[in-house]
Amino acid sequence: MLDGGFSLAAYRPLPIVSMSRFARKRRFPQRRDDDRPASARPSAAPRDTTRADDPARLQKVMARAGIGSRRHCETLIAEGRVEVDGRIVTELGTKVRADQQVRVDGAPLARTRLVYYLVNKPSGVVSTNFDPSGRPRVIDLLPPTHERLFTVGRLDMSSEGLILLTNDGELANHLAHPRYGVEKTYQVLVAGAPDRDMLTTLRDGVHLAEGLARVASVHVKKSLPKSTLLEIVLREGKNREIRRILAKVGHKVLRLKRTAIDGLRLGEIAPGEYRRLTGDEVRALRGHGRGASTKRPPGRRPRTNPRPVRDTAGSLPGRDKARGRRQAVADKVVAAPSVTKRAPRGRREQAWKGKRR
């Protein structure tokens, strides 16, 4: 009994449960994405793989031509204001070919042309096309156009540098989705002087909420009295990834600028200026996209040991050897001499005592 009238007997110690990480994995196995049902898997980045000569939904074709958003185009179709080859269409989801003539309120629909712009985004400009706050947008830096443009990937408001705008959804998907591993180069000014161990940590990976984030390469470009200029190459695009991983290792980002996407470099374009991509540049980016579509996903290693080839008899060459070894072991066990049966423990103790006497 203690001074305050409390008794130690009333307090029962809690059981201490210790479980290793291997036991936790056996008891609570993690489900892979492939084991989940299709409805529960994380959705991939939006993609648009429709070719120009493939049938496409009518509202999608109208949105590409600059009539408006897809929802607005669906409203026009439902109101009976759209004609396809002289016939009024009111059914949503109707597909049209490139050789069919589409009219909206009697005016022919303009042919969709693919355009590609390279913009040097300045700091303080947002990448989104719709901003309720009314902040300056990247798309406002371009001249007025009928095409429905969107950015390839994102740069946060404080970042600057190279960003692409296009209406080519297939190319945008290949360049922006992390599974294709397109390299993006950044120049990052950080506070302090990162050492060699910190750079190694960035290459090995830093744990974030979404998982492990690692850079493809990083090296010091210039050392200043109170800061350091780094060049970082990424093959993935998590939200504010560079700022977050550098904050994890104790270095604040003072300035971040994207200088290249794959082989396309920013060059001498002034902040806020733009230029059209040349045909060779577009073909080079498309070539990377086609090659990346057949490239194995990052993180999966190729098979190093080839599968054994079956012989003419239909059996595997290594299987017969294994069967022979097992049979030899079984023969030894059968042919082993019988072991003499030992006497019970009590008799052995009595015999031992008798010997001592």
Choosing from 156, 168, 197, 320, which is the catalytic residue?
156
pLDDT single digits (tens) 310-342: 444 444 455 556 666 666 666 655 555 555 555
Strands 253-261 and 160-166: parallel
Asked whether the beta carbons of 117 and 149 are under 8 A apart, the reply is yes
In a domain, 78, yes or no: yes
- The pLDDT tens digits for 172-210 are 888 888 888 899 999 999 999 999 999 999 999 999 988
**Is residue 148, in this structure, part of any structural domain at all?**
no
Structural domain that includes position 64: 56-108
User: 74 lies in a domain?
Assistant: yes
Residue 75 lies in a domain: yes
Whether 255 is in a domain gets the answer: no
- Classify 68 in phi/psi space as left (phi over 0), alpha (psi -120 to 50) or beta: left
Task: Report the share of the chain in percent with pLDDT over 90.
Answer: 39
Does residue 271 lie within any of the structural domains? no
Question: Per the domain annotation, does 68 fall within a domain?
Answer: yes
User: Residue 87 maps to which CATH number?
Assistant: 3.10.290.10
Q: How many domains does the chain fold into?
A: 1
- Encode pLDDT of 251-297 as tens digits: 999 999 999 998 899 989 999 999 999 999 999 998 764 444 434 44
The verdict on whether 33 is a catalytic residue reads: no
Is 81 contained in some domain? yes
Distances from the Cα of 302 to the Cα of 15, 204, 216, 296, 305, angstroms:
47, 21, 20, 9, 9
